Amino acid sequence: MLFRPSRRQIITGMASAGLLMAGPRAFAQAPKRVVIPEGEFTPLPIAITNFVAGTPGDAEVGVGVSQVITNNLKRSGLFAPIDQAAFIERISNPDSPPQFQSWKQLGAQALVLGRMTRQGDGRLKAEFRLWDVNQQQQLAGQQYFTSPEYWRRIAHIISDQIYERLTGEKGYFDSRVVFVDETGSKERRVKRLALMDQDGANVRYLTKGSDLVLTPRFSPSTQEITYMEFGQGDPRVYLFNVETGQREIVGNFPGMSFSPRFSPDGQRIIMSLQQGGNSNLFVMDLRSKSMTRLTDTPAIDTSPSYSPDGSRICFESDRGGKPQIYVMSANGGGAQRISFGEGSYSTPVWSPRGDYIAFTKQGGGAFAIGIMKTDGSGERILTSGFHNEGPTFSPNGRVVMFFRDPGGNAGPSLYTVDISGRNELRVPTPGFASDPAWSPLLS
Amino acid sequence: MNVKVDKTVLASVALHVLVLGWVMLSFSTKALEMPPEDSVPVDVVSSDQLSKVMAGMKTGKKENPKPLVEKIAEAKPVDDTVGKISDKAPVVTETAPPPQPKAEEKPVEKKPDPPKVVEKPKEEAKPVEKKPEQKVDQIGDTIKKEEKKPPPKPVQAAKPPEPPKQQRIVERHFDQNQIAALLDKRDPTRQATTGDTMNSNAALGTAKGTAADNSATWGAMFQRQVERCWKKPYGGIESQKPEVAFAIRLKRDGTLEGAPVPEGVPATPFLRVYQESALRAIIECQPYKLPAAFYEEWKYFAPVFKEKV
């Protein structure tokens, strides 16, 4: 087999090979790099102006919206709203660019302007603009229409927009919290199911208080709540629709059913059923009402919680002697213990982000709230004291709410803490409050 | 003209060329990128010379009479513009009150005093009456005038004794207007030992020489200033290891010549926020106070913002 290249072909081949080898080496003149490795986290200074009244008579709601946004951002711990008394420029038209220099003087890095206008049909139009003071650029701008009585929700939605644009994470302000409201003396405590905005406003009561209610849980996808109620006999798991006010018993089983929680799609409820001296995990399909057993052990398995993708479950079990946290497939099967610290672990709850599991840890005479990664590593105690219990994640997984009982004659209150352990704050409630559960974002 | 070539041979040659070419390229890259070093002057010393040096013989021939580095200046006679204290003649007085303490207290007004004191205490009043204001107002003028005619008053009063005259000649006085004359004008005995005095082998430097890199100095200054404005966004407890860089051009007064140019597009919302926070800081903290001497270095550089490790 012979190949006969012409001389021309040979020369061309050699030349191209040479070119290939002596390929151009471009040395681009790169600027000298100076590394700025420091920089502690600092709350972002932000100026939030009162929303201008587009129509007379809406000045009050404009101030209200501004106050709700200010309160939300301040409570998040990530922003430092600047006192309005220091403002130099008075905003009369939020559509024209502000005098950035006057805001720069205050040290503001972001500026919020807005307007509330009553529409002809009685609805309220809310407009807002978020400005970057240094770059003199608009970062966000939106308008919303709503019934006048829902102006607080508009304020929460705008807060979420600002939060997301300036932190890169989803917000959590447009959400609600269901909790057990407690009134009366310690011996005759009346416990009612209550619902409120995440900032403590708009409290309303869902039950009358004649029966004891415990462990309310929000559906991750619908406006439904499941909870446990001690009626005339054994405690039962109930389903409650927030919008319609309807409630129903989930299944009818012999013995106690407790610690219910929704699956991520809201179509199933996972719970514990007591059988003799032990309890096991069951999942019930809300449509077909069919029950599936997930564990079958002589121990107490309880407090199950789904991972956000619905593939796994974390739960509490004393099968190893003391209550510890276990993780297993959502279809049952072998469970893997993930908590190995001193003391006992209970009430595990999976973060909506899927990265952490929050828990109550008991040991050394104290109750602590902590988080750990889903494989049990990176355990971190967020707060510790006489009695802290019942963690629940904010919709963005950045904040944990729990209740704290100081002991004595006082009752429990709700608190929030960042998952880094910073910024612990009390959530205002009308009376004592326990067992909070955070809803998903409403919008 | 066609050449008959076996196809396998051709393939073999092509492969060799490729492999060898690749080897040349990939193996030579590091050698090419070696930074050139600054040249250092070296004297070649033979082993013979070295052994002589090491021997340290007293009688040995002086190999290097002229030191390269240090040059010792010739000692020049010092001309003292003021006069030395040691030259001062000893003051001889008999019974008179010691004039020395007075001279120390008020050296400016001192000159004609001793004779008066010695002669008559009354006489003192006269000079005081004559020009009291001038003395207060202009010390220098007074001194000059008095210097011009020091004898008259003492002569009029009486014949002063000899010793005071001697003293007047050697008296030192301090004149504020002639401070320059007090400076030591002797030549320094040490000479400058930099530049070509030190190193006779002049080097042009290298293209990639690190000698001119003062970024550690001005970079740290820039960092301290920009950090004051940097409100780093909160990235949670997960280590996201963000890192964003910009190319910035500064004017001589430390203000930005144009908007900082970010390197690359942030991949996540958090990185975008991180980049924006750094950008805000760069803009907010100008003008930067950086050493003007290194302007050529900091007029164009790339600040890199990253998480503390």
Over residues B104-113, the mean pLDDT reads 47
- Collect all residues of chain B within an 8 Å Cβ-Cβ radius of residue A167: 233-234, 270, 273
Q: Would you say residue A121 lies in a domain? A: yes
What pLDDT does A213 receive? 84
Chain A nearest-CA distance from B21, in A, is 6
Q: Do B269 and A104 touch (CB under 8 A)?
A: no
Q: Which residue of B has its CA nearest to A397?
A: B236
What pLDDT does A203 receive? 92
DSSP class of B39: P
Residue A422 has a CB neighbour count (10 Å cut-off) of 13
Q: Which residue of A has its CA nearest to B213?
A: A32
* pLDDT tens by residue, A152-190: 999 999 999 999 998 888 899 999 999 999 888 777 888
What pLDDT does A158 receive? 93
Maximal C-alpha separation, chain A: 108
Q: Do B238 and A355 touch (CB under 8 A)?
A: yes
What pLDDT does B79 receive? 63
CB A329 within 8 A of CB A315: no
Chain B nearest-CA distance from A84, in A, is 21
In this complex, the residue of B215, B277, B308 whose CB is nearest that of residue A34 is B215
Q: Give the separation between CA A76 and CA A26, rounded to whole angstroms.
A: 49
Q: Give the separation between CA A257 and CA A269, rounded to whole angstroms.
A: 11
Same domain assignment for residues A257 and A359:
yes
- Collect all residues of chain A within an 8 Å Cβ-Cβ radius of residue B297: 32
In chain B, where the domains are located: 85-182, 215-306
Contacts of A272 (CB under 8 A, 6+ apart): A256, A257, A258, A259, A279, A280, A281, A282, A301, A302, A303, A304
**Domain closes at, from A133, A167, A201:** A167
Same domain assignment for residues A385 and A411:
yes
Return residues 48-87 of A near B (CB < 8 Å): 77-78
Q: Do B273 and A420 touch (CB under 8 A)?
A: no
Same domain assignment for residues A229 and A367:
yes
Residues B215-306, CATH architecture: 2-Layer Sandwich (3.30)
CB A337 within 8 A of CB A344: no
Q: Do A33 and B269 touch (CB under 8 A)?
A: no
Same domain assignment for residues A210 and A354:
yes
- Encoding tokens for residue B3? 């050449």
């760069």: which residue's tokens? Answer: B282
* pLDDT tens by residue, B66-107: 655 566 666 666 665 555 555 555 565 655 555 554 444 444
Q: Do A36 and B305 touch (CB under 8 A)?
A: yes
The three-state (H, E, C) secondary structure of chain A, written as one string: CEECCEHHHHHHHHHHHHHHHCCCCCCCCCCEEEEECCCCECCEEEEECCCEECCCCCHHHHHHHHHHHHHHHHHHCCEEECCHHHCCCCCCCCCCCCCHHHHHHCCCCEEEEEEEEECCCCCEEEEEEEEECCCCEEEEEEEEEECHHHHHHHHHHHHHHHHHHHHCCCCCCCCEEEEEEEECCCCCCEEEEEEEECCCCCCEECCCCCCEEEEEEECCCCCEEEEEEECCCCEEEEEEECCCCCEEECCCCCCCEEEEEECCCCCEEEEEEEECCEEEEEEEECCCCCEEECCCCCCEEEEEEECCCCCEEEEEECCCCCCEEEEEECCCCCEEECCCCCCEEEEEEECCCCCEEEEEEEECCEEEEEEEECCCCCCEEEEEECCEEEEEECCCCCEEEEEECCCCCCCCEEEEEECCCCCCEEECCCCEEEEEEECCCCC
Chain B nearest-CA distance from A47, in A, is 15
Contact B15/A at CB under 8 A: no
Instruction: List the CATH number of the domain containing A126.
Output: 3.40.50.10070
Chain B nearest-CA distance from A421, in A, is 10
Q: Would you say residue A13 lies in a domain? A: no
- Collect all residues of chain B within an 8 Å Cβ-Cβ radius of residue A39: 227, 230, 232, 305, 308
What pLDDT does B171 receive? 65
CB A384 within 8 A of CB A368: yes
**Domain closes at, from A113, A146, A167:** A167
Q: Which residue of B has its CA nearest to A45?
A: B231
In this complex, the residue of B17, B283, B308 whose CB is nearest that of residue A135 is B283
| ipTM exceeding 0.90, yes/no | no
Distances (CA, A) of A427 to A158, A401, B28: 21, 9, 67
**Averaged pLDDT score across all residues of chain B:** 67
* pLDDT tens by residue, A217-242: 988 876 788 888 877 777 778 888 88
- Collect all residues of chain A within an 8 Å Cβ-Cβ radius of residue B208: none
CB B215 within 8 A of CB B297: yes
What pLDDT does B100 receive? 52
Over residues B264-271, the mean pLDDT reads 82
Over residues B22-47, the mean pLDDT reads 64
- Encoding tokens for residue A179? 């909790």
Q: What is the pTM of this model?
A: 0.65
CB pairs under 8 A between A and B: 140
- Collect all residues of chain A within an 8 Å Cβ-Cβ radius of residue B216: none
Q: Which of A160, A105, A165, A114 is nearest to A134 (CA)?
A: A105
Q: What size, in residues, is chain B?
A: 309
Distances (CA, A) of A269 to A79, A218, A259: 38, 11, 10
Burial of A345 (0-12, 13-18, 19+ CB in 10 A): buried
Return residues 167-186 of B near A (CB < 8 Å): none
Q: Give the separation between CA B149 and CA B166, rounded to whole angstroms.
A: 16
Chain A nearest-CA distance from B309, in A, is 8
Phi, psi of A188 (to 5 degrees): -120, 55
Q: Give the separation between CA A157 and CA A68, rounded to whole angstroms.
A: 11
Angle ∠(A379,A381,A385) on CA atoms, nearest 5: 150
Residue of A34, A76, A132 to mutate, testing the B interface (most B Cβ within 10 Å of its Cβ): A34
In this complex, the residue of B5, B238, B309 whose CB is nearest that of residue A5 is B5
Q: Do B305 and A167 touch (CB under 8 A)?
A: no
CB A393 within 8 A of CB A352: yes
CA count, 13 A, side-chain hemisphere, A5: 15
Q: Do A34 and B219 touch (CB under 8 A)?
A: yes
Residue of B223, B228, B234 to mutate, testing the A interface (most A Cβ within 10 Å of its Cβ): B234
Chain A nearest-CA distance from B222, in A, is 9
Same domain assignment for residues A135 and A217:
no
What pLDDT does B53 receive? 66
Q: Is the pLDDT assigned to residue B301 strictly greater than 50?
A: yes
Q: Give the separation between CA B169 and CA B114, rounded to whole angstroms.
A: 13
Contacts of A427 (CB under 8 A, 6+ apart): A177, A198, A199, A200, A401, A413, A414, A415, A416, A433, A436
**Domain closes at, from A167, A186, A214:** A167
Cα torsion at A170, A173, A174, A178 (round to 10°)?
A: 120
Chain B nearest-CA distance from A116, in A, is 28
Q: Would you say residue A376 lies in a domain? A: yes
- Collect all residues of chain A within an 8 Å Cβ-Cβ radius of residue B14: 13, 17
Q: Do A132 and B276 touch (CB under 8 A)?
A: yes
Contact A132/B at CB under 8 A: yes
Return residues 379-398 of A near B (CB < 8 Å): 380, 398
Chain A nearest-CA distance from B38, in A, is 20
pLDDT tens for the 443 residues of chain A, in order = 455 656 666 666 665 555 555 444 433 457 788 888 766 678 889 999 999 888 777 888 889 999 999 999 999 888 999 998 988 888 888 888 889 888 988 889 899 999 999 888 888 999 999 999 988 889 999 999 988 888 999 999 999 999 999 888 889 999 999 999 988 877 788 888 899 999 998 999 988 877 888 888 988 876 788 888 877 777 778 888 888 888 888 866 777 778 888 998 888 889 888 877 788 898 988 888 888 889 888 889 999 999 999 999 999 999 888 899 999 998 888 889 999 888 899 999 999 988 899 999 998 888 999 999 999 888 999 998 888 999 999 998 889 999 998 877 788 999 999 888 888 999 999 989 999 999 988 87
Residue of A36, A79, A104 to mutate, testing the B interface (most B Cβ within 10 Å of its Cβ): A36
Contact A101/B at CB under 8 A: no
Same domain assignment for residues A156 and A186:
no
Instruction: List the CATH number of the domain containing A229.
Output: 2.120.10.30
Q: Which residue of A has its CA nearest to B228?
A: A39
- Collect all residues of chain A within an 8 Å Cβ-Cβ radius of residue B27: none
Contact A5/B at CB under 8 A: yes
What pLDDT does B241 receive? 77
Which structural domain, as residue segments, surrounds residue A131? 44-167
**Which of A46-55, B37-46, B187-196, B228-237 bottoms out in mean pLDDT, i.e. has the lowest?**
B187-196
Q: How many separate domains does chain A show?
A: 2
